[in-house]
Structure 1
Amino acid sequence: MLWRTKSHHSETSEQDLSRTTSAAKNDAAASASQAAGTAWLAGHLHHLTPEQEAKLEEFKKVCAEHKYYTPAVVAADGVEASPASHGDATMLRFLRARRFDVEGAWGQFKDTEDWRKENDIEDLYANIAVDKYEASRRMYPQWTGRRDRRGIPIYVFEIRHLNSKQMAAYNDTMNSAKPETHKKSSVPPRLLTLFALYENLLNFVMPLCSALPRPNPETPIVSSTNIVDVSGVGLKQFWNLKSHMQDASVLATAHYPETLDRIFIIGAPSFFPTVWSWIKRWFDPNTTSKIFILSAAEVNSTLTSFMEPSSIPKQYGGELEWQWGEMPNLDAPAHELVHDLEQPAADGSSKKELLKGPVLFKGDTVEVLGTVDGTPRRKTIPVPQPQGSTQATQVPASTSTAQANGGAETTPNPPVVEDEKTVLDNAPVNAEEPQTTTAAA
């Protein structure tokens, strides 16, 4: 794979895989019990043991020595304050992925930083064509606009829609041309758009969710919960989709570590153990422990243990009006923050939709990015601040890995945690004369 890490630190051995417990045997009830308390926060920002705190400082020192990390500078006489190049929540994801082994985390971190630079990921997200972005969004897990009980965004992936006809049309569209900014890239165009989807998860969805009310506001949201619906899919379709699904899985494991909280697989056919034998090799053992294959009788009780019924789509026993392919149906707190991103209802519809394409949530503003017919669309939209607030909510962005790997590291309430540089410092955002071009559906 083009994005597979080069370092031996990030390779999963066959011996590790052989010890992996089948996802069908993972205890969903025990996992829900853990999520209901604070045990799931172990190893996250503001929930570290003294040993983990020491490992974090050691990791940052190693990265700084290799010039892959720049510490924050505190303001002083004649010295201007500057944020760290990467926030602590980002660094901790790499440490958790390697069980706080500093050498292993450094290997994966370096590989990811090099990969981001080689593929110019920041520029890709800022300038991707909105129509191609939207075509890709419809082929991978989609955010419902809702969150689980901890505030983690809920994504849904319905496999049956990805038939051979749709896949062929998608590949033709994606392979027709590369973005002008990536003409020299060796990465196939269909994979470039996949990178942009991950950037949206970590540049918009996670920072937005971090700014919303939740049980543990001191810790930023850095992961997602996924419902994967495999009902109505035959073995042949699974086989045809193998590389498509593997793309996202390998990419996440290599360069977006610890961005998965849970995967709930529902509607599994009798032959699914055969499919699972392929899938489990795309993940490391820690990730497979987060995957739960639910029987029909387990779906409702398991999902409701993690999510409010209002956040579960109706087709899975909940109350949420949301169908595969639709834009996010935001809950009230999220709608309050980004309602200015909504577009007029399309013909034949009474429901407004969020603006399509890449956007960046920065706490006090949302930056609209992407291109339409080759023309960059640039608009800065203010985010309403809570009544009585004397200062705009700060949701730090970042350069390279920090934003693309969970850079939303503050919340609307204290404690304030380490800022990061914006991922789009060099993107041509014109706040004084914003373009208002929007993408077609």
Structure 2
Amino acid sequence: MAAPAEKPLVLDPKYDDYDFPTTSPVPQPGHPGHTTPEQDEKVKQLRSELEKLGYTQRLDTLTMLRFLRARKFDVEASKSMFVTSEKWRKEFGTDDLAGTFNYEEKAKVFEYYPQYYHKTDKDGRPVYIEKLGKIDLNAMYKITTGERMLQNLVTEYEKLSDPRLPACSRKAGQLMETCCTIMDLKGVGITSVPSVYGYVRQASDISQNYYPERLGKLYLINAPWGFSSVFSVVKGFLDPVTVNKIHVLGSGYQKELLAQVPAENLPVEFGGTCACEGGCELSDMGPWQDPEWARTPKWALPKEGGEAVVHNEDPGIEKPEASA
């Protein structure tokens, strides 16, 4: 299906307050700036149905489009996904994490499981790196807890939404909604899988269910022997759009990876030339640290009149009708 002609995002003044570009560089139907009139109507329909359930937060157009794309523009399925996400956010305490969570043990945890954002790829996306082969949960749980690891993961997802992606969008001059993810499988063996499976599954579920449409490209590097064969079977169960984003590479990954990530933005250990002072893993370098592109994230701004943000209510609790 050909993408519709590029057009401005249809904004809703009640919810849309963007200070960054809102046209996606991806000329595909359903992406901002490339929507059809039918898709624009489904945004309004989804938002209206969520308003009827009492939701007031995260109803902006870009968010509505991400949830709709994740469910092939099935409004009912998208509504269910959003409701489930909001229920999880309330139970997990997500809205308060970005401004309050302090992962003071990060440097020690990263000795066993580095997970970090670092600069951008050639398309302007944030680069996210994980080194799965170094995971040692037994050692990590002497330093931290599984709950705090997930809290850190969620905090970083919140910071991805704001300030990272908005800063990248301003610098690129077009909307950045996704990441370029590098997962280093060096050292991952069959024996290490069971011990990390539970955490990785939880992390994957959070990503897919509550932060949809954030994957731009995924490079699985240093894939062990036989991994490609297994993945070729798994591909049959994945959406073709997702499959096209995934690149499984062995130890000779540098050429393909450097075709996507500039050498000056890629850490030396992966074949790039970047060597941040204190280590790339802890630097958090990127446009979100540059005053020219960075802005104070909305979650860090003082609330009007000192009032807290009104969180979405749990639609499972019926509200009494207002008296006449």
Mapped contact 1:268–1:293 kept (Cα < 8 A):
yes
- Aligned counterpart for 2:200 among listed residues 232, 241, 245: 245
- Residue correspondences, number: 280
Mapped contact 1:136–1:194 kept (Cα < 8 A):
no
Mapped contact 1:58–1:102 kept (Cα < 8 A):
yes
Partner of 2:117: 143
Mapped contact 1:136–1:193 kept (Cα < 8 A):
no
Mapped contact 1:152–1:209 kept (Cα < 8 A):
yes
Structure 1 residue 263, shift from structure 2 partner: 0.8
Mapped contact 2:47–2:59 kept (Cα < 8 A):
no
Partner of 2:219: 264
In 2, distance between residues paired with 1:202 and 1:281? 31
Matched, 1:109 2:96: no
Normalised by the length of structure 2, the TM-score is: 0.73
Mapped contact 1:158–1:324 kept (Cα < 8 A):
no
Distance 1:133 1:316, change over 3 A: closer
Matched, 1:325 2:281: yes
Distance 1:51 1:136, change over 3 A: farther
Structure 1 residue 206, shift from structure 2 partner: 1.8
In 2, distance between residues paired with 1:38 and 1:63? 28
Partner of 1:415: none
- Aligned counterpart for 1:59 among listed residues 19, 43, 46: 46
Deviations, residues 40-85 of structure 1 (Å, cap 9, x unaligned) = 5542222212222222122212212222247xxxxxxxxxxxxxx5
The amino acid across from 1:195 in the alignment is: V
Mapped contact 2:267–2:280 kept (Cα < 8 A):
no
Partner of 2:138: 168
Superposed, 1:8-407 pairs within 5 Å as 38-39=25-26, 42-69=29-56, 85-132=58-105, 139=113, 141-144=115-118, 146-162=119-135, 164=136, 167-175=137-145, 188-211=147-170, 213-214=171-172, 216-217=173-174, 219=175, 221-273=176-228, 276=231, 286-297=241-252, 299-322=253-276, 325-330=281-286, 335-337=289-291, 363=295, 365=296, 397=298
The amino acid across from 1:108 in the alignment is: M
Partner of 1:405: none
Distance 1:190 1:226, change over 3 A: closer
Give the SS at the match of 2:201.
helix
Deviations, residues 228-255 of structure 1 (Å, cap 9, x unaligned) = 1112332212332222222211111111
Structure 1 residue 302, shift from structure 2 partner: 2.4
In 1, distance between residues paired with 2:43 and 2:168? 24
Mapped contact 1:250–1:282 kept (Cα < 8 A):
no
Query: Greater relative contact order: 1 or 2 (C-alpha under 8 angstroms, separation 6 or more)?
Result: 1
Normalised by the length of structure 1, the TM-score is: 0.55
Mapped contact 1:238–1:275 kept (Cα < 8 A):
no
Structure 1 residue 151, shift from structure 2 partner: 1.3
Structure 2, unpaired ranges of 5+? 1-23, 310-324
Structure 1 residue 86, shift from structure 2 partner: 2.8
Structure 1, unpaired ranges of 5+? 1-36, 71-84, 176-186, 340-360, 367-396, 400-420, 428-441
In 1, distance between residues paired with 2:123 and 2:59? 24
Structure 1 residue 321, shift from structure 2 partner: 2.1
Distance 1:425 1:320, change over 3 A: farther
Structure 1 residue 335, shift from structure 2 partner: 4.8
Matched, 1:426 2:295: no
In 1, distance between residues paired with 2:97 and 2:34? 34
Structure 1 residue 131, shift from structure 2 partner: 1.0
Give the SS at the match of 2:104.
helix
The amino acid across from 2:151 in the alignment is: L
Deviations, residues 267-301 of structure 1 (Å, cap 9, x unaligned) = 1111425875998799766544422102444x234
Deviations, residues 4-38 of structure 1 (Å, cap 9, x unaligned) = xxxxxxxxxxxxxxxxxxxxxxxxxxxxxxxxx94
Distance 1:137 1:48, change over 3 A: farther
Partner of 2:10: none
In 1, distance between residues paired with 2:280 and 2:239? 28
In 1, distance between residues paired with 2:33 and 2:71? 19
Deviations, residues 388-409 of structure 1 (Å, cap 9, x unaligned) = xxxxxxxxx379xxxxxxxxxx
How many percent of aligned residue pairs carry the same amino acid?
A: 26
Structure 1 residue 92, shift from structure 2 partner: 0.9
Give the SS at the match of 2:188.
coil
Distance 1:142 1:94, change over 3 A: same
The amino acid across from 1:142 in the alignment is: Y
Mapped contact 2:116–2:129 kept (Cα < 8 A):
yes
In 1, distance between residues paired with 2:239 and 2:107? 30
The amino acid across from 1:170 in the alignment is: M
The amino acid across from 2:100 in the alignment is: N
